[in-house]
Structure formats: structure tokens, C-alpha cells
Chains A and B, each alone.
Chain A
Amino acid sequence: MQSTVNSNVDSESALGTGERRTHLRELEAESIYIMREVAESFERPVMLYSIGKDSSVMLHLARKAFFPDKPPFPLMHIDSTWEFREMIEFRENYVRRELGIDVIVVINEQGVRDGVNPFDFGSRVYTDIMRTQPLKQALDKYRFDAALGGGRRDEERSRAKERVFSFRDQQHRWDPKNQRPELWDLYNTWVHRGQSIRVFPLSNWTEFDIWQYIELEKIPIVPLYFAAERPVVERDGDLIMVDDERMQLKEGEKPEMKQVRFRTLGCYPVTGAVPSTATTVSEIVHEILTTRHSERQGRAIDRDEAAAMERKKRDGYF
């Protein structure tokens, strides 16, 4: 199969088209393969889009996977209504307007009417009402049989054994005793009516890989990941940003302008910022490698209980 190679076309050597394949290209190809498998094996797949950096990478990979076609599934954002404003702006301006990609936005209106918020409700109840329940309802309403999510195995200890294709029963429950072994890249995608599969195409990526890839591919992300002066209060050891007037300040709390950034994004009242001066991706990488704290440190939601994550998953949380 030898033929002369047009070196003009093939000269992107650092990108893995040269002699050796780099880990980023290998991860990229694996994720693309997984997404194509999902598109082909299910009747109604959806991509859960949380607007975070992992979702941004996943969306980018989906655009690659189906090029020149568009991704053959919609994006769906479960909007808790407590997201950072910049996240919503990013969703509207970049994803919807600039990329022209359809995003289904799901809000638990009943929860909004009932005034469910992360201040007056414990994180377990809050997450359940504003995220888990609307997710399950939306999956049922649109009869989605596969949902792609940006979860990674390195995020949290209980995820280390999570499958790439994670089977859910008719009630969207994850049964740790009933997961299918994954051999080679031969994913078992068979489901009965009403059952579904959650698919994690970024399973094998680490936080470090994600950042390297964002840098390599120049993937746009929400500016909150970069350090800037932001109004924050210190609460239970976390720096919480006062993103809008709904923030309930406790006695003695006074917003101060601090140079901070976020390692993960979610609902602003429960997402801790880290002091930082990193304004570029390489500075962020530098920071990750020298400060050396785990990514979930800033997620109030995870410190709730020891086995929190496991339980949430069994309930149907992503």
C-alpha cells in the first residue's frame, strides 16, 4: 500500500500524524469511536451538555466525529437556574449562535416555583430536585435511550470502575452489581425498551489531558476558568462567588474582590473558587501541577457524605 505522501497535507507532525501516535490523539480517536458507536447503535441518543470544560471537549470531539456532517444528536442542558451567568452566556452566544447547534434546555419549573435553592435546602435535596429529577423526566419525555456525559474516571475514586457504557434500568438506576464487562472496544449496546445507557466518552481522560487538549485544539471555554477579579465571600473554607443578587449572605459576610478562578463549574453558590493568577491555559496547567489539590476539593456538593457520589449515581445523577 505504498504511495507517495503529499507532505504538504501531512506535515502536522506533533499532532500525531507523524511516526508515533501521541496519547492525546489516541484518546481523541477513542472518544470519536465511542460517539460514532452511540450514534449508530441507539435510536434516540442525546449529549448532556453542562457547559464545563469537559463538555466543551466532548462537543469538540463530537464535531470531529461526524464531520462533515453535524453531530446527529441534540445537546441537552439541565439548567438548575443557579449556574454562573457567564455559563449561560457561553451557551447562548457560542454554542447556539456561533456554532448553530441545537441545545435543549431543561428546567424543573416546579422546583423554581417551590423556591428550591442551594441555600435553604441541603445539597442532597437540592441536587436531586434541580438536577437529577429534571434529567430523568427529560430522558423519559424525549425517550432518549442513550445519553453521553463528560464524566471521567480520574475525577473521583468511585468512578474508577465505571464502565464507558453504563447500563441503566427503566427507572434510570445504576446497579453496580449488574454492569456489563467491557472487552476490547466491543461495547454491548443492547437495551430493551425503556432501558438506557449512559456513555462516557472521556472515561480515560484525566484533568491534565483535558487541559492539554484544550490548549492543543484551541477549544473555547467559559472565561470563569481563567483568573480575574471577582466578588467572593469566604464560607466554610470555600471562596464562593457572589454572581447575582440572589446570593444569600450570612452575618458578617462581605463580598471582596479577589483574583480567583474555578477548576470546575456548576451552581455558583456551591462551587468554590481558588485564588489564582492563571489567565492562560498554560498558566492553568502550571498551577495544577504545582498547587496539587484535587479538582473536587472546591465542590461543596461532594464533601457532603463519604459515599455521596456512589449514592447519587444509584439515584440516577450523572
Chain B
Amino acid sequence: MTNTLHKTLDSVADTQDFLRRHQTKEMLRFMTCGSVDDGKSTLIGRLLIETGAVYDDQLAALHRDSEKHGTTDDSIDPALLLDGLEDERQQGITIDVAYRYFHTAKRKFIIADSPGHEQYTRNMATAASTAQLAIILVDARKGLLTQTRRHSFIVSLLGVRHVVLAVNKMDLVDYDQTIFDNICREYRDFATGLDIPDIHFVPISGLRGDNVANRSDRISWYEGAPLLHILETVYIGDDNAIHDFRFPVQRVNRPDADFRGYSGTIASGSVHVGDQIMVLPARKTSRVQSIVTFDGARASAKTGEAITLTLADEIDISRGDMIVQADHIPLVSRQFQATLVWMSEQPLVPGKSYWLKQTTRRTSAEVESVNFRTDVNSLQQMDCASLKLNEIGECRISVHDPLVYDAYRQNRRTGSFVLVDRISHETVAAGMIVIPIGEVSQGDHWDGELRSKRLQYTPSRVSSDSRTKRYGHSPLTILITGLSGSGKTTIAYALEERLFAQGRAVMVLDGQNLRRGISRDLGFSAEERSENLRRAAEIAHLMNQAGLICIAAFVAPDPAIREKARQVIGTDNMLHIHLSAPVEVCRYRDSSGRYAAADRGEIVNFPGVTIPYEKPGDANLVLDTERLSVEQCLDLIEQLLSRKLGVAGTKPA
């Protein structure tokens, strides 16, 4: 029963070595989910005992209690360790989450344990918000329940990337492998609809300790690792570490006139002295001059570290601003879509003003409308006007001061927020930002009036003919359309490379890239897609005026909009190449998870999934990218070009 971890330290020399090893441990925060009586308390108690987190005096008391309760035959009942919560439940005290601690030689663990009642969506969300891993308990006798699905959905929604499905009470089903296998299979099928990249399965008996800390002889058919081993080894390199640098300013540190620093915790990415940064929302740029800590100056710092930055230029920066890497900046807007988990007895009132806290920023916010509510049991989306306690829904939110954010999927720290009631100060909702909504682009600018009648058009004195002579070809826009995953980007860049090698002045205009810059304010509604294409068409037109060949890769699902783009660019200057591949193929090729996200309703208006894609009848060339190789496609495009440009694939004179 008692663990061997600590008993082997026979000398102080051992201890020093032990201390040194322990000082380099990592930390894992995990949560436990299960319905009442699935054995959650038993399992947690077991983990605490086996790792030595229970002191001898507590253990002795546990032995006495176990005898008294007569709960189990000869041994102790680990669940009694957690009895504190039981008492409180009876007193009607709200326990949302209890935290417990244990450690092994490899890691320190923090368990967030939330009670498994029906109505406790809010507590699970709280526990999941800081968890890196979730243990989902299933009673081997009962198999997957509605609750299992609900727990998994919430875990996935809150961005927990690692799940261990622990099939418990294996002792009560004679350690039967087929029962375990069937539960695993069923769960795997179910989980494909969720966003959980890493799932482990382990058969256990929390009561008897099978496969908890040690591999069990009674489950010899199981070849995987015991639960504790999984917890000790699952890869938890901070996913945020690889992302773009984000540093919400928490405090301006100004001890005297000579020093002005910005203190905060790095939300993602890393920073080095000398890096180009931008301060948002003001969009001021500067360089990192120094990274200051109590323990000395640093050359660099990374995700999760609490540091103080000084900058090369004097910029007005205050708490709530965000310092980011200058070439990859987050979104800034006053409106966005977010999934809310409603946490208050008082239902959501659309249009009511709440406080909003996101990173270190406070502002007021209102929920303009609820797009839909997701039933946590059936995962069905349904229309609804408001949200009640424990309900989850996607909403359109507007804020008073612009927020600087990333989508929650990309960045848990910059994509999350809470709503607080202005009078009671109760935390009423947890929010996860889904996608931005454009601020500028409301309405249609294709045929819009000019803002002033006095705007003049001044023609260039360099004629387009002279440009054609200089470049050896006339300007052209090649519009490549097709579904997400049809190969637009691949073909566009390959084509650019080939034409450039032939001496052509050519450049790709990429829909995604535009959204990082000139169309950063745009979302994905039909209007916003249309506006993105309008801007692209204008840019293509400018490039053509400059004499360049422009390769524009866009989904462009709407024939009416494509026609408008053609008018902006000019029919003579444009070739339309459509890439056709069955939607299943595109979906299969898609590595970005966009189809899956669209299926879950996280991306609305996704062509091919939620809105139709009409095959264009006006294309100059249709390429079947399911059958044709990239090279074959390029060859076909080149044949078309040589006719159009009047020059066969030869180097211009």
C-alpha cells in the first residue's frame, strides 16, 4: 500500500540527489470526470495513497474509518479520503471544484475534481479551463453513458487536448477484454466528432488498484501502461510555446524616472532582446531592449514566464495592452463570435451590459444575440434567444473597447474571457472566442457609391504597352477557384514558381494571406467572403496595371460575386481556372481541421459543408485534381496561357 518512492531515501546524500531531481520536475494539471458512483473518489484516493500523498496519521485514520464503514472486505476504502466533499454536499454548500496534489519522481500533479452531477456543466468547465488532461471514468458494467459524451464534449470545448478513458470496476466484469475493447471502439467512434487529438484507454479497478500505479497481473491481456505511467509521460510541452509571441501587459513598472518596464506573463511564444514588436491596439512598433527579472537580465524568455520588458522607444502603454510579435499580430475588433458557458442562476439577457475580462483587459460587453445553443447531451444545435445556468451557446458579442485576441482553438490564453454582472459581481459566463466578425465590412462595397464625387482618377503616363514590352508579356489575372482542400494553394504557388522561372513577373494573391493583413477585419459570413474577394479583385487589378501576372487563389463560391470580380479585373485580363474534386476528397486532404470544425458548427458558412458550392459554368479551364497530378495541371494551364499571352513557354526576349 505504502509507496516505495519515499522509503528508499536512506541518507542525506540520497536526499540531496533526490531534491535535485525533484527540482527539475514538470507539472501536469488534470481533471477527473465521471458520473456519481463511477468510482471517481475511489480512484483519486487510490492515486493519492499510492504516490505517498497521504500521511501516516491520515492513513491510520482511514483504516479506522474503513473498518467502521465496513465498506470493503479486508482493505481500506480510498474514497473515504475525499469525504470532505460529501459532507458539504449534504450541507448544501456549492463545491465547484476541489483541488488535490500529489507527486512522483517525474511530475507534480494537480487534480481538479468537480462533482459529477447532471447540472454541473459549469463546474466541469471551471475544472477544464486549467486542465491539460482529463481522465474520463466509465463503469465497465454500464459502458458509455450520456454523461460520458457530455463530459467529453465539455472537455473538448474547453480545449483539453489529452484524454484518458479509464474503464473502471474491471473487477466486477471479470477483467473481460471484450467488454473493454467494445467500450474503446465505441468511444473512438464517438470522439471523431470532437477535437481531442490524444486519447488513451486503460482498464482499471480503482478499488483494487489494478493498473492504477502498477500494471496488474489480473489484466495481463492489456499491453499498455498503467494510468499513473500515462500521467507521468504524456507529452505536455506547452502547445502555446510554438505560437506567436503574445504578452498581455499586466503592470507598468515604474519605480523611478529612469526605469519604465512592462510586467506580465508570456501568453504564448517567446521573446528575445532585439525582437521587433508591436503594441496593440495602438499598433505602435518598437524593439525589445531588455528582459528584466529579479534573477538578472535575460536574453530571451518563453511561454508562461513572468517577466518585465523594456522597449527601445518611449510608447504610451498601459495595463490591458498587448505586446506582440510585429509580423504575426492577433485580431483586434469590437465584435466577435464566442461560445459561452452560462454559469449563473440569472439567465443571459441579450443587450444587457456586463463586465468582460480577457487577458489583463477589462471592458464592458453585451451579447447581441445567441446564434444557437448546443445541447450537451445530444450535441444538437438549436435555436434559442438566451442561455440559462449550465447552457452552452454560440453568441455574437460586442465590446466597448476593442479586444486584442486570437481564436480560443489557437490560443487558450488570449482567446478566453469571463463575463461579470455589474451589480452582483458574480461571474456569469465563461467565453471562448470562435471567430471574428468584421467591423468595417457591413454591407456591400462592390457597387457602392464613392464617398466623394470630387475623387479624381489620374491616369499614369507610363502606358500599359510599354510595361508589356518591358516584361515581355501582357498583364493577366489567373483566378483559381475551388473548395477548401481542392489544391488551390498548391497549384497557385507551383504555377508561380514555374512562371517566375520562365522569367515572368508573377505573384500569388492568397486569400488566407490577405486575411492576415488587408482583410484582417473580415470574418467568414457570405458578405465578408464577398468583401474579401472584392478587395482581392481590386489588388489583382492594381497588379495588372503594374504589368504583373497575378495568380489569385480563392474559394469564391458565389457565381454572382465571381462575375463582379471579373468586372473589376476586366474580362480581357482574366482567366478562370476551376479545380474540381469531390468534396469527400477535399475533406480527406484537409489537414487544417477546417472541415471537422465546420461539421461541429465552429465555422459557419463553410462552402461544401454548410453552404452550397455551385460548380462554375464560366471557367476557362476545369482541372480534376483528384485524377491529375500537380505537374499535369501546370502543363494544362501553361498551354492555355501560351494561347492567351501569345507567347509559348519561352523566355521573353
Which residues does A use to contact B, with CB under 8 Å? 1-3, 5-6, 9-10, 12, 14-15, 17, 20-29, 32-33, 36-37, 39-40, 63-70, 153-154, 157-158, 160-161, 176-177, 179-186, 188, 190-192, 203-204, 206, 208-209, 212, 215-216, 280, 282-283, 285-286, 289-294, 297
Contacts and interface: CB of A to CB of B under 8 A. Distances in A.
A204 B110 contact: yes
A40 B427 contact: no
Top 9 A-B pairs, shortest CB-CB distance = A23-B27, A69-B255, A286-B15, A64-B294, A67-B294, A32-B306, A294-B55, A23-B108, A190-B425
**B interface, over-half SS:** mixed
B52 interface: yes
A37 B427 CA distance: 17
Given A3-B275, A9-B298, A188 B23 contact: no
A191 B420 CA distance: 11
A17 to B, nearest CB: 7
A23 B25 contact: yes
12 contacts: A5-B299, A14-B24, A21-B238, A32-B265, A37-B250, A69-B255, A176-B88, A186-B416, A206-B103, A282-B12, A289-B15, A292-B55
B105 to A, nearest CB: 12
Interface string B412-455: 11001110100001110010000000000000000000000000
Interface stretch (B125-133, B191-199, B375-383): B125-133
Given A17-B305, A26-B27, A297-B55, 4 more contacts: A29-B265, A68-B259, A183-B416, A286-B15
Given A64-B293, A186-B417, A153 B24 contact: no
A69 B88 CA distance: 43
A184 B103 contact: no
Nearest to A63: B294
A17 B295 CA distance: 11
B325 interface: yes
Contacts of A209: 108
Contact of A3 (B25, B264, B274, B357): B274
B416 A179 contact: no
Contacts of B122: 181
Contact of A176 (B12, B94, B123): B94
A36 B251 CA distance: 7
Interface string B1-28: 0000011010010111011101111110
B631 to A, nearest CB: 34
Given A33-B306, A177-B92, A184-B130, A157 B265 contact: no
**A2, A14, A29, A37, most chain B CB atoms within 10 A:** A29
A186 B357 contact: yes
Nearest to A182: B126
Contacts of B103: 23, 206, 208
Contact of B26 (A21, A183, A280, A297): A21
A245 to B, nearest CB: 33
Given A27-B27, A32-B306, A294-B58, A1 B271 contact: yes
A282 B84 contact: no
Contact of A29 (B23, B306, B358): B306
Contacts of A283: 12, 15
B412 A177 contact: no
B500 interface: no
A9 B272 CA distance: 12
B270 A1 contact: yes
Contact of B250 (A27, A28, A40, A191): A40
A44 B246 CA distance: 30
B94 A179 contact: yes
Contacts of A290: 6-7, 9
Interface of B: 6-7, 9, 12, 14-16, 18-20, 22-27, 52, 55-58, 84-85, 88, 92-101, 103, 107-108, 110, 122-123, 125-126, 129-130, 237-238, 245, 250-251, 253-255, 259, 261, 263-265, 269-275, 292-302, 304-306, 308, 319, 325, 343, 355, 357-358, 360, 412-413, 416-418, 420, 425-427, 430
B84 A160 contact: yes
Contacts of A64: 293-295, 306
Contacts of B55: 292-294, 297
B299 A204 contact: no
Contacts of A68: 253, 255, 259, 261, 292
A249 B245 CA distance: 64
Contacts of A212: 19, 22-23
B272 A5 contact: yes
A137 B588 CA distance: 68
Contact of A183 (B264, B270, B418): B418
Contacts of B129: 183-184
Contacts of B412: 184
A28 B101 contact: no
A113 B481 CA distance: 88
B300 A184 contact: no
A183 B238 CA distance: 19
Contact of B15 (A27, A28, A190, A282): A282
Given A9-B299, A64-B293, A3 B272 contact: yes
Question: Which residue, B88, B273, B325, B418, has most C-beta atoms of chain A within 10 A?
Answer: B418
A180 B57 CA distance: 33
A63 B95 CA distance: 34
Contacts of A24: 23
Contact of B275 (A1, A14, A20): A1
Given A26-B27, A32-B306, A192-B425, A66 B253 contact: yes
A30 to B, nearest CB: 8
B62 to A, nearest CB: 12
Contacts of A66: 251, 253, 263
B273 A3 contact: yes
Contact of A188 (B100, B125, B418): B418
B420 A23 contact: no
A45 B357 CA distance: 20
Contact of B325 (A1, A6, A23): A1
Contacts of A294: 55, 57-58
Contact of A10 (B97, B101, B299, B357): B299
B427 A188 contact: yes
Given A26-B27, A183-B430, A186-B357, A282 B19 contact: yes
Most chain B beta carbons < 10 A, residue from A180, A183, A285: A183
Contacts of A282: 12, 15-16, 19
B49 to A, nearest CB: 12
A138 to B, nearest CB: 24
A161 B296 contact: no
Contacts of B250: 33, 36-37, 40
A214 to B, nearest CB: 11
B95 A161 contact: yes
B4 to A, nearest CB: 12
Contacts of B110: 204
B518 to A, nearest CB: 23
Contacts of A27: 27
Nearest to A192: B425
Nearest to A21: B304
Contacts of B85: 161
Contacts of B251: 36, 39-40, 66
B293 A160 contact: no
A147 B210 CA distance: 45
Given A23-B108, A40-B251, A186-B418, A181 B238 contact: no
B416 A184 contact: yes
